[in-house]
Amino acid sequence: MRSLNIIIAFAVAAAAVPMQTSAARDRGGKRIVGYLPDWSYSACRDMDFSQVTHINIAFCNPDSRGELRCEIPDSELEKIVSSAHEKGAEVFAALGGAGGCDSYMQYIDTPDEMRTFSGNIMTYCERYGLDGIDLDIELDSGNEIWKYYGDWCKELRSLCDERDMEMSTATAQWVAGRVSPETFALFDFVNVMAYDNDEDRYSHASYEYAEKCLDYFSSVKKLPAEKLVLGVPFYGRGYTPDGELDWDSYEPFAELVKKDSANYSRDSYNGVAYNGAETMAKKAELAKSYGGIMIWELTQDAKGENSLLRVINSRLAGGEQFITGDVNGDGSFNIADAAALQGWLLKKETTLKNWQAGDFDSDGSLDVFDLVLLKKALIEAARQNTVIVTDTKSLYEAVKNASPGDVIKAAPGTYECGTKAVSPETDGTAEAPITLAALDPDDPPVLTGSTTGQGYVIHITGDYWVIDGLVCTNSQKGIVLDHSDHTVIRNCELRKIGAEAVAIRDGSSWCTVKDCNIHDTGLVSPGYGEGVYVGSAKSTTGYDYKCDHNRIIGCTFKNVAAEHIDVKEYTTDTEISGCTFFGDGMTGENYAGSFIDLSGNDCYVHDNVGYRNGNPKIAAAFEVHEQVQGWGYHHVFENNTLYMDQPYGAEDTSRRMYVVDGWFSAFSVKNNMVDYGNGLVPADSWEYYNSDYVTYLK
């Protein structure tokens, strides 16, 4: 520990160095703007402001003297601003709102009144240390205020620039008609209110309506995509008996989930239309191509696991996670991270790859106190219980008695598991996963069942497990995950398996299969011999079908009897990337005719390589199926390279060998390449995709 003591001694002399605290940096530069109503501000007392980049106080409107005020007491507003700033979030005064901007014109209809009122706004912001203003003027296009609005925005822009403040606006298409592109250009960003739509009579905030709104401000108002922030509702609306939007109906998302936990994923309940988690994730994905997400409003969100804000953050962050303490970003937390943090504090290092990982006290800055806490964490890590097992009995015992943070190392050799699976049941945690790994990665342990006709080698039902560097063989299934979240299977070899090698099922989500070698599957049941199987088919019962946000990364598949990867209906957001598929061995049984079969929604298939290798059973690189109405849509296929040998199917020579075969489905494609025997060519037109609904991304 001598090196750590030296580090601490050096660092004590270092002053606190502010971090780059803009929370937008955590989410690819995208904003998460949340409105906080002054009538329900108390609900924010336990809110994690690190989940947003901007808080808009709604609403700050003029009194009879033209001075701004809101209903939040001064002391409480000061606490909100302080808490937000500590977490790297900015706080804006939101002006106007529905019904709140009716009196505004009297303060801007002459130059003197406009100047005085604008000065009052700046005074209010300076008093509370606010970072900007948001104009939410919701008046119809016939209102006289629009005659003065452009000049008023110019004046506010000038005053904001003098104070290094930002300026945004909340607007909708029905509001924006009288606002010129030149005026919109004055705002740092524009919050697009893509909700309360009364046109379609089935949803006030559908995904399609979001696309329509963003397109209007992009194409008609000429706003760059990075300035457009997509507005989403954390509430639902009902309808009148005539099918009209009921403006008196209003139900917070938290209340909907309280009534029925299944409402978390739905978009309607008892006549109330809203955005559940699946649609919210989809909108967040859309917002990646724009400036981010705006929320009306934060206090309506459900808590904990059911939080929509959590869904938004996860999607805008791309699902990326970092290991606490791993400031140098090398994938592990060790003494090198302490050295890196010391160098940064002493300004010997200019950057830290994962600076967030070092903010141990969560105060928004990196300083000597974080280094002290990092040292403590390293000491605790050194005390972790590492268990070395050398036989099957000790392996079972170690797995059974595992606790968060434990590392179980299996020595080289063969572990005869018979029909009794190794069954990790204890939950690890995000900070302290439980690891079962090879003691010697160059001589991995072999866990074997008794027959390819029955049983599993490993059956995981706990959360946050890491299975690393093992060989699993001679069983009906290799590794099965049931209601296991955040589990990682990496560097494993799965071979000589009777059916599928890896099954991620029964509600298992946020799991990763990475850098695995999967081969010789389906030896007993070829039609069910997939390499990785995500979810469960609708024909099965007794399972939670929703297996969401799973990743299959960098794996190699060969002599796999069925599809290499099969993603079932009712699943969402599976990512498949960096994989290599060898078509040798695919039998075509149970309609297996492609490397990947997708029946879920919102899959991202990118940077994979596939070799058909003359196998006549393979008739397309990727297939999309609608096993259940509404499922099998909105996938993205990008940067894939496919060697398909010939342009038409071997068994049906009249059928083109498509890159993606999904005639019913709407999906997107970009930069895919295909070789039909005469060299690679861009798959950039209709003849490569069996669908009339393909979007060609640039």
pLDDT, tens digit, 9 for 90 and up, residues 61-91: 999 999 999 999 999 999 999 999 988 899 9
Q: Distance between CA atoms of 50 and 89, rounded to whole angstroms?
A: 7
Residue that the structure tokens 């079932």 belong to: 568
Q: What is the pLDDT of residue 9?
A: 33
289 and 338 fall within a common domain: no
Collapsed DSSP state (helix, strand, coil) of residue 675: strand
Residues 269 and 356 placed together within one structural domain of the fold: no
Q: What are the residues facing 134 on neighbouring strands?
A: 94, 168
Q: Is residue 97 part of a domain?
A: yes
Same domain, 295 and 327: no
**Domains of the chain: total:** 3
Looking at 316, 351, 366, the residue that finishes a domain is: 316
Residues in the chain: 698
Structure confidence at residue 360 (pLDDT): 78
Q: Which of 316, 338, 369 is the last residue of a domain?
A: 316
* 32 has a pLDDT exceeding 90: yes
Q: Which residues pair with 54 in a beta bridge?
A: 33, 90
The reply to whether 570 falls in a domain is: yes
Residue 233 domain-assigned? yes
Mark whether 276 and 128 lie in a shared domain.
yes
**Residue 363 pLDDT:** 60
In this structure, is residue 17 part of a structural domain?
no
| Distance in angstroms (rounded) separating the CA atoms of residues 472 and 101 | 67
Higher pLDDT, 131 or 655: 131
pTM of the full predicted structure?
Answer: 0.51
352: domain CATH number is 1.10.1330.10
For residues 128 and 206, state if they share a domain: yes
Least confident of 19-33, 352-366, 519-533, 676-690: 19-33
Judging by beta carbons within 10 Å of its beta carbon (0-12, 13-18, 19+), is residue 133 exposed, middle or buried?
A: buried
Q: Which residue has the higher pLDDT, 336 or 530?
A: 530
| CA 436 from centre of chain | 27
Q: Is the pLDDT of residue 5 over 50?
A: no
**pLDDT at residue 623 in the model:** 97
pLDDT at 247: 80
Q: Are 39 and 130 members of one domain?
A: yes
Question: Does residue 59 have a cis bond before it (omega within 30 degrees)?
Answer: yes
What confidence category does residue 44 fall into, taking pLDDT thresholds of 50, 70 and 90?
A: confident
Average pLDDT over residues 103-124: 96
pLDDT of residue 531: 97
Rounded to whole angstroms, the Cα distance separating 54 from 104 reads 24
Instruction: Mark which of 262, 281, 316 sits at the end of a domain.
Output: 316
Does the structure show a pLDDT above 90 at 233? yes
In which band, very low, low, confident or very high, does the pLDDT at 626 lie, cut at 50, 70 and 90? very high
- The pair of structure tokens assigned to 682 is 């861009």
Residue 643 covered by a domain: yes
Residue 8 has pLDDT above 70, yes or no: no
Is the same domain home to 235 and 100?
yes
Q: Are strands 268-269 and 272-273 parallel, antiparallel or unpaired?
A: antiparallel
Q: What is the pLDDT of residue 517?
A: 97
Site of tokens 């010697």? 440
Q: How many helices (H) and strands (E) does the chain have?
A: 13, 48
Residue 263, sorted as left (phi over 0), alpha (psi -120 to 50) or beta, turns out to be: alpha
Instruction: Check which CATH number belongs to the domain holding 167 and give it.
Output: 3.20.20.80
Task: Tell me the pLDDT band of 316, cut-offs 50, 70 and 90.
Answer: confident
Range of the structural domain that residue 662 is part of: 498-696
Please indicate, yes or no, if residue 489 is contained in any of the structural domains: no
Query: Is the per-residue pLDDT at 319 higher than 60?
Result: no
The chain-wide mean pLDDT, for the chain, equals 89
The predicted-structure confidence for 168-224, as pLDDT tens digits, reads as follows 999 998 888 889 999 999 999 999 999 998 877 778 999 999 999 999 999 999 999
| 661 domain residue, yes or no | yes
Q: Given phi > 0 = left and psi -120 to 50 = alpha, else beta, which region is 318?
A: left
17 and 341 Cβ atoms separated by less than 8 Å: no
Together in a domain, 676 and 573: yes
Mean pLDDT of 113-126: 97
Asked whether residue 328 is domain-assigned, the answer is: yes
**pLDDT exceeds 80 at position 598:** yes
For residue 11, what pLDDT band results from cuts at 50, 70 and 90? very low
Q: What integer pLDDT is reported at residue 19 of this predicted model?
A: 35
315-324 average pLDDT score: 59
Question: Would you place residue 483 in the very low, low, confident or very high pLDDT band (cuts 50, 70, 90)?
Answer: very high
Q: For residues 250 and 337, state if they share a domain.
A: no
DSSP 145: T
Rounded CA Rg of the chain: 28
- What confidence tier does 550 reach under pLDDT thresholds 50, 70, 90? very high
Where is average pLDDT lowest: 231-235, 318-322, 571-575?
318-322
Domain identity same for 142 and 65: yes
Residue 41 has pLDDT above 90, yes or no: no
Q: How far apart are CA 444 and CA 437, in angstroms?
A: 9
Same-domain check for residues 107 and 141: yes
Distances (CA, A) of 319 to 264, 265, 294, 313, 333: 19, 18, 19, 8, 20
pLDDT at 362 (0 to 100): 60
Is the model's pLDDT at 353 over the cut of 70?
A: no
| Percent residues over pLDDT 70 in the chain | 92
Domain co-membership, 547 together with 629: yes
Q: How confident is the model at residue 351 (pLDDT cuts 50, 70, 90)?
A: low
